[in-house]
Amino acid sequence: MTNRSSPKFLALAVVFAAAGLTACGQKAAPPAPAPVAAPAPAKPAPLKAAFVYVGPVGDAGYTYAHDAGRKEAVAKLGDKVATTFVENIKEGPDAERVIRELATAGNKVIFATSFGFGDSMAKVAKDFPDVYFEHATGFRTSDNMRVYEPRIHEGAYLAGIVAGRMTKTNVLGFVGSFPIPEVLRNINAFTLGAQSVNPKIKTKVVWVGSWFDPPKETEAAKTLINGKADVLLQNTDSTAVLQEAERQHKYAFGWDSDMSSFAPKAHLGSCMLLWGVYYEKALNDVLGKTWKTGATKWGYREGMTDFVKIPDFVPADVKKKVEDAKAGLKAGTLDIFKGPITDSTGKVQLAKGLAADDKWLGGVTFYVKGVEGKVPASK
């Protein structure tokens, strides 16, 4: 590959020349946008909304749940809205280009579904004051950008109640992705839920350093089971942990969506994320011109999280406990994080009698008492 003549590069220029020529020929016919719902002539044009997904729609987990929510909102609102989505967008410089392109293309609402999209979205939001920006799990807000987040730790708490009663070894396992507050809340809620029915509970945590690496999730599950854990929960996105539990005759839960069919013997329930309610509300806010900035944190009460499909072999009194907790969440009488909360080093993180507010929840960087080990790289 060493002898080549220099004008060869010209050949590549031909690609561009060809592209340019076609461009001239086609200028007359701009690309027809293909909205999901075709506008009928008499009605007002549908509200254009776009979704930016961090993973593929086919991940059967996090992004899948978002897309199910999008579809649900579309089903409710019909031809009043026209939605598009862009999947597999990396958290980084590409995101800003994609969000800007979607804003330029005339979308009036844009949803970005990952924390790492926040900076990009904030930059674009500044340049498009007429477009509404919605950022999942973020914290940055402005006049036309707001954030939303489900209280998924409620699901983890409910799972904990079942886990605390179904364990024989009193050791629970958690497969974690990254030690951020959202995930630490889930670990803590899972543990507190279990301790509410069984004070002897210990939780072991293994971090896989990824939201998505099914073989490694399997390995993590195996490790936890070998370490005596017999009920597992994960906040990674695949069914791998559940399937490994099934294989080794242990118990586990579904996460993000209903995973009961993957492990009929191991599955003790699924913690659901139901984004659809929020998407419907957000779109309605824009349609009804009632959109206001802010932070939405919804849970079981608002229908954004749920814990479903508890199998028949779980004793009735355990189910009753879960139902009671659900009723408490619905009525607002149950606070999952309520003082006194002591962390694994014995320090009081929330004083007696206090209930956690959103600020406290956003700053959870510790394990509660009963979780073994230390949060990685925590100060």
Partner 1 sequence: MNDLALLVAATLAAGTPLALAGMGLLVNERAGVLNLGAEGLMLVAAVAGFATGFTTGSELLALIAGAAAGAIGAAIYGWLVIWLNTNQYATGLAVSLFGSGFSAFVGIGFVGKKLEENPVTGVPLLRDLPVLGVALFRQHWTIYGAVALAGGVAWFLYRTRGGLILRSIGESPSAAHALGYPVRRIRLVAVVVGGALCGLAGAYLSVIYTPLWVEGMVAGRGWIALALTTFATWRPARMLFGAYLFGGVTMLQLYLQAAGVQVPPEFMSMLPYLATVLVLVIISRNPLWIRLNMPASLGKTFFPGS
Partner 2 sequence: MSLLSPVIAVVLTAVVGAALFAALGKDPLSALQVFFLEPFHGTRALTELALKSTPLILIALGLALCYRSNVWNIGAEGQFLMGAIGGGGLALWVTTEAIPMSPWAFFPLVIVAGALAGAAWAGVVALLRDRFNANEILTSLMLVYVANYFLSWLVFGPWKDPDGFNFPQTVSFASQTELPRVIRGMRLHWGSAVALLAAGGMWLFLFRTFAGIQLQVGGPAPAAARYAGFSSHAAIWTTLLTSGALAGVAGAFEVAGPMGQLTPHVSTGYGFTAIIVAFVGRLHPLGCILGSGVLSMFLIGGELAQSRIGLPSALSGVFQGVLLLSLLACDTLIHYRPRWSGTR
- The binding site for partner 2 (CB under 8 A) comprises 1-2, 4, 6, 8-16, 18-20, 22-23, 26, 31-34, 36, 50, 56-57, 84-94, 96-98, 100-102, 104-105, 115-116, 119, 127, 178-181, 184, 209, 362-363, 365, 375-379
Cα-based distances in Å from 375 to 180, 234, 339, 372: 10, 16, 21, 9
What's the min distance (Å) between Cβ of 65 and partner 2?
A: 18
Part of the chain binding partner 1 (CB under 8 A), chosen from 91-99, 189-197, 356-364, 368-376? 368-376
Range list of β-strands (E), the chain:
47-52, 81-86, 109-112, 132-136, 145-150, 171-176, 202-207, 231-234, 251-256, 267-273, 295-298, 305-308, 341-342, 348-350
Cis before 311 (ω within 30): no
Residue 191 contact partner, candidates partner 2, partner 1, none, CB within 5 to 8 A by sort of partner = none
The sign of the CA dihedral 15, 20, 26, 32 is positive
What's the min distance (Å) between Cβ of 89 and partner 2?
A: 7
Part of the chain binding partner 1 (CB under 8 A), chosen from 119-127, 147-155, 216-224, 282-290? 216-224
* 107 sits near partner 1 (criterion: CB under 8 A): no
* 310 sits near partner 1 (criterion: CB under 8 A): no
Amino acid making up residue 151: R
Cα-based distances in Å from 143 to 29, 287, 291, 294: 37, 17, 10, 9
Residue 24 contact partner, candidates partner 1, partner 2, none, CB within 5 to 8 A by sort of partner = none
- For helices 153-166 and 181-195, the axis angle rounded to 10 degrees is 40
Residue 33 contact partner, candidates partner 2, partner 1, none, CB within 5 to 8 A by sort of partner = partner 2
What's the min distance (Å) between Cβ of 345 and partner 1?
A: 12
* 212 sits near partner 1 (criterion: CB under 8 A): yes
Between 295 and 308, whose beta carbon lies closer to partner 1?
A: 308
Cα–Cα–Cα angle for 182, 186, 191, rounded to 5 degrees: 150
Residue indicated by tokens 């076609």? 22
C-alpha to C-alpha distance for 267 and 91, rounded to whole angstroms: 33
Between 286 and 361, whose beta carbon lies closer to partner 2?
A: 361
Between 122 and 205, whose beta carbon lies closer to partner 1?
A: 205
Cα separation of the two ends of the chain: 54
* 94 sits near partner 1 (criterion: CB under 8 A): no
- Out of 83, 114, 188, 238, which residue is the one contacting partner 1 (CB under 8 A)? 238
Part of the chain binding partner 1 (CB under 8 A), chosen from 26-34, 161-169, 184-192, 199-207? 199-207
Yes or no: say if 268 and 250 are a contact pair by the CB < 8 Å rule.
no
Hey, what are 101's tokens?
Answer: 């392109």
Residue indicated by tokens 């080990």? 373
Residue 142 contact partner, candidates partner 2, partner 1, none, CB within 5 to 8 A by sort of partner = none
**Residue 361: how many CB atoms within 10 A of its CB?**
17
* 169 sits near partner 1 (criterion: CB under 8 A): no
C-alpha to C-alpha distance for 120 and 100, rounded to whole angstroms: 9
Part of the chain binding partner 1 (CB under 8 A), chosen from 78-86, 223-231, 269-277, 318-326? 223-231
Between 107 and 113, whose beta carbon lies closer to partner 1?
A: 113
Hey, what are 316's tokens?
Answer: 């009735």
Yes or no: say if 173 and 204 are a contact pair by the CB < 8 Å rule.
yes
Positions in the binding site for partner 1 (CB under 8 A): 1, 55-56, 58-60, 64, 173, 204-210, 212-220, 222-224, 226-227, 238-240, 243-244, 246-247, 261-262, 372-374, 376-377
